[in-house]
Amino acid sequence: MAPLFLTVALVGVVSACGNGDGDAEVDATVPTPVAPQVSESVEPQIVQLDAVVHFAGFEITVEEAALEPAEQGLFGGSPTVTVTGAAENLGTSAAQIRPFIYLDVGGRVSPLQAGRSELGQIAAGSRADIELVFEVVEDFELADGVLRFGGDGIVAATVPLDGDAEPVPLDPVDLALTGTAEAGDLVLSVTSGEARFDRTDLHEQAEDGKAFVIVSFGVTFNGEAGGPSYPFGEDETRLRTPDGAELAPIEFPIELLRPGTTTNDLTLIFEIDNDEPGGYALVVVHVPGLPTETMAELPFEVPALASGA
């Protein structure tokens, strides 16, 4: 008679090898995948927004926000908010929207899921669809969320997701800045000016508390015919603020002006405090720093600017 332990071992072998007709038994130690189940704590929600904001050289239209519950089970995760819309590249070169975009719920911040979002390269002057994806907590409600374009240290445009509250769009503001200012042999002819919170040339956003004044102009040098050319650069222009400070431009052309010629399509950019409305003046300086220095100015007003959120 075989020992008892041998009999038990043989039974185990037969069980593992199947029923003898080639069909193997299922290994009970491998879990059977469970179909994901939808969380019951979050209800799907959709809100139509139709808000337009300006951020880092793009005009962004936010059309819709949708909240989807997390899938529960083996392949589950967190609830997601998907914001759809479109973006227009206002710059002169192809660029991608900077991913400094967040969903804020009372100070609790959900960063953009960049790998699941669509923020492709957009050609200069072109418009393309975008999709922004965020993971949120189980008890999230769309009405409690605020979409923020801009992180710490930069001015942020915001879109509340309740569909009713007003956004902070950071729209550029046209300035009544036109005319001519003549200083010595230099004549500045200003065609337009605007205040804005972003630079379309670099696709950058202003720092907290700051804004940009952007001036489009041409310059004529009325020097003596046949005489030397004039080096026009940083020191030939300034911006006088309401408190009397004179600011140097942070972006300026460098031109060698020949006598009797005009150079057009030039740009100056100044950085100002965005909470200082009032009377400003664009100052042009001929031969700055020399005894024969001559100045002229073109006054204009900067209105109160929305400072972001």
Intra-chain end-to-end CA distance of the chain, in Å: 88
pLDDT tens-digit series, residues 173-231: 999 999 999 999 999 999 999 999 999 999 999 999 999 999 999 999 999 998 999 99
Instruction: Pick 254 or 99 by higher pLDDT.
Output: 254
- The residue whose two tokens read 């052309």 is 253
302 three-state secondary structure? strand
- Catalogue all structural domains in the chain, each as residue range(s) with its CATH number: 37-160 (2.60.40.1240), 173-302 (2.60.40.1240)
Average pLDDT in the chain = 87
Please report, as a single letter, which amino acid is at residue 39. S
How many Cα neighbours within 13 Å face the side chain of 196?
A: 23
How far apart are alpha carbons 90 and 302 in whole angstroms?
Answer: 22
Which DSSP helix (H) or strand (E) runs through 191? strand 186-196
Residue 2: predicted pLDDT: 46
Q: Which two tokens stand for residue 250?
A: 């942070």
Q: Label each residue of 41-103 as H, E or C.
A: CCCCEEEEEEEEEEECCEEEEEEEEEEECCEECCCCCCCEEEEEEEEEECCCCCECCCCCEEE
The angle formed by the CA atoms of residues 41, 47 and 48, to the nearest 5 degrees, is 170
How far apart are alpha carbons 303 and 280 in whole angstroms?
Answer: 10
Q: Taking a C-beta distance cutoff of 8 angstroms, is the pair 272, 239 a contact? A: yes
For residues 116-133, average pLDDT: 96
pTM: 0.82
Please report, as a single letter, which amino acid is at residue 108. R
Residue 25: predicted pLDDT: 44
Per-residue pLDDT band for 108 (boundaries 50, 70, 90) equals confident
- Per the document, the length of the chain is 309
- The residue whose two tokens read 């080639």 is 22
How far apart are alpha carbons 90 and 148 in whole angstroms?
Answer: 20
